[in-house]
Amino acid sequence: MEHSKEKMQESCPICQSKTLVHAFHVKDHFLSQEEFDLFRCKTCDVIVTLPVPEPDKLESYYESREYFSHGGNKKGLVPASYNFIKGINIKKKYLQSTKGLELGEVLDIGCGIGDFLAYSKTKGWKVSGLEPNKHARQIVKQQHKIEVEDVSQISKLPDESFSLVTLFHVLEHVIDPLEMIREIHRILKPEGRLVIALPNNESWDAKFYKEVWAGWDVPRHLFHFNPRSISNLMSRFPFQSELNKPMIWDAYYVSLLSEKYKKKSFPIVRAAFMGFISNCKAKRKENYSSVMYFYKKPV
């Protein structure tokens, strides 16, 4: 593409070094079928989607009935698989995110249709959510009776007002991750916890599927992280790393989408096998398909 060489001279949005190098082209298999360029920063190891679509244009890449995080009850193999895995993941994410914390206030950023908030509410937490999609916010209000604000309202939240802040597969969508983490640090109480879940571009399934890996999800995913690059990002802020946890089921779901994009026969059978292999390989190097990162705000 004509813009590739020019973009190589841009500064990395995370570390500001001028070490972005072209990695490869990736197609938006999910919706538009357009191609985008991915650039890896040789300094902080983050991968960036360039060029970033304008905000109005970027919003259009989410406008699909197949976008399951905003979609309600859909029929078909992939939605059914997604909803099955989601139900398991919500309970597991809740247990892992709240372990060792007293009941308090939780903020779920990019809360989608509010499943995590609704489950947390049943456990006694005071819940708040931020979500950029207007339709999703309406679903949360109608189905769960929870008021959710647009993500832009984060700057209006009071200092040190939350015991727990979660971003489940959200940070990769954010135009300015540095500003997002800065705001989270401001609103998080001392000894409060931040949980970030992200696809891992160093996982076995990412390397197996390469450009067809569903975890790229361009251009909705603007940034692409692995354990090294998220560590480099978080080192810029006064957070203390607690631990990392694998998201085992993600390997199967990502493999299912990737097989669908490859137009292979019997995708669910192949995905089950590939997801199993990915998780087995990950045990050696801890490079799971998706990882939850836990951070504490020191006193």
- Which mean pLDDT values do the consecutive 10-residue runs of the chain (299 residues) have? 50 94 95 95 96 89 67 60 76 96 97 95 98 93 95 97 98 97 98 98 97 97 98 97 95 94 92 97 92 97
The CA-based diameter of the chain, rounded to the nearest angstrom, is: 54
In whole angstroms, what is the distance from residue 120 CA to residue 157 CA? 20
Q: How many domains, in total, are found in the chain?
A: 1
pLDDT of residue 9: 55
In one letter, which amino acid is 260?
K
Angle at 142 between CA 140 and CA 144, to 5 degrees: 55
Q: Quick check: 152 and 111 in contact, CB under 8 A? A: no
* Sequence-ordered list of residues with C-beta below 8 angstroms from that of 103, at least 6 positions apart, any chain: 123, 124, 125
In whole angstroms, what is the distance from residue 280 CA to residue 287 CA? 10
Torsion on CA atoms 91, 156, 237, 239, rounded to nearest 10: -40
pLDDT of residue 55: 86
- Domain holding 161: CATH number? 3.40.50.150
Instruction: Write out the residue range of the structural domain in which residue 145 sits.
Output: 4-296
Tokens read off for 134: 């207007």
Strand partners, 188: 162
Place of tokens 């914390």: 101
Of 181, 16, 193, 206, give the one whose Cα is nearest residue 97.
Answer: 193
